[in-house]
Amino acid sequence: LARVAVGVDLGGTNVRMGLVTQSGEIIARRKGKTRVKDGPEKVVGRLIKTASGLIEKARSDGHRVAGLGIGCPGIITADGVVKVSPNLTGWVDLDLAGQLSGGLRTKVRVENDANAYALGESWLGAGRGAESLVVFTLGTGVGGGIILAGKLWRGVDGMAGEVGHITVNPNGRQCGCGNRGCLEAYSSATAVVERTVEALRGGRFTTLSSVIRQSSAEMSALKVMEAALSGDMLAKTVYSEAGKYLGIAVADLVNLLNIERIVIGGGMAGAWGLMEEAVNYEVYRRAFKVPAERCEIVTAQLGDDAGILGSAGLALGKLE
């Protein structure tokens, strides 16, 4: 019998939920579609229904439930209000903490999803044992979280950790945020696909040419990774450029924060081997020797569970 909390990873497409013990073991899981189009009221209603099922199960097994933690994309205030969310259309000034705690009659902590991911890795994954770290999530976009002296750095408005929008090339590629030359415009899965398709449309002929013969929608970061691993030069260049710009951002963070560890996570972390050399080269070239040698760069360890574990850890009081 244990003290447990519900951890929720709410994404634009999927919801993952788990019952997590004090030691970070996930003893029960639930998974479903978010279905954002149904609107916030229905989505929150489904969250309450699924979570109360998990809470009931925990109680009938004799566990004590400390509360619920949820990682949610968007700008989240300190008291758990979703100000706005790029992935959850229509979620504006939504009191998510209030609605969930009202429906579940338990304590609720709401955290930005990338921050929850970083907290999960710092508690139980690649960040274990480090007092200071920056976590990158390389996926559709590039997100991140900063942990300093064992605590998440949220910033005065809860908006800290946006490593994806560090400028790495002043007049560079257009980013979704409106700026030019952000890291996300080079080192996200979206950017890898776009750069590959552009080169192929521009006349490059490689093993990937057949993929876009019908439609460029067939291209994926995974296909580019597989091509790179089998020696495709264009694919290798795209990944090494993604690594180069990631390395520029990492070098800035190393000089700015003198942190112990950088954790590379998200769907693109599987291609770390294709980016590592370029990242290390830029860090070696740009950062001061002492902080560069001190900082370890490692890949994330928890996969899709990082968000569930980080959110639950907040609810359990294991993380702050």
Q: Pick the closer one to Zn ion by CB: 22 or 179.
A: 179
Among 165, 195, 261, 318, binds Zn ion (CB under 5 A): 165
Q: Pick the closer one to Zn ion by CB: 108 or 268.
A: 268
Contact 71, 311 (CB under 8 A): yes
Closest distance to Zn ion from the beta carbon of 310 (Å): 24
Q: Among 103-111, 158-166, 199-207, 271-279, which window interacts with Zn ion (CB under 5 A)?
A: 158-166
Q: Is the dihedral of CA 130, 73, 144, 190 positive or negative?
A: positive
CA diameter of the chain: 65
Q: Pick the closer one to Zn ion by CB: 7 or 181.
A: 181
CA angle (265, 242, 152) in 5-degree steps: 35
CB atoms within 10 A of CB 46: 16
Q: Pick the closer one to Zn ion by CB: 24 or 164.
A: 164
Q: Pick the closer one to Zn ion by CB: 143 or 313.
A: 143
Residues 168-197 within binding reach of Zn ion (CB under 5 A): 175, 177, 179, 182
Q: Among 160-168, 188-196, 242-250, 289-297, which window interacts with Zn ion (CB under 5 A)?
A: 160-168
Closest distance to Zn ion from the beta carbon of 82 (Å): 21
Closest distance to Zn ion from the beta carbon of 241 (Å): 17
Q: How far apart are CA 282 and CA 6, in angstroms?
A: 41
Q: Is the dihedral of CA 183, 91, 134, 21 positive or negative?
A: negative
Q: Give the CA dihedral 279, 281, 282, 288, nearest 10 degrees.
A: 120
Interacting residues toward Zn ion by CB under 5 A: 165, 175, 177, 179, 182
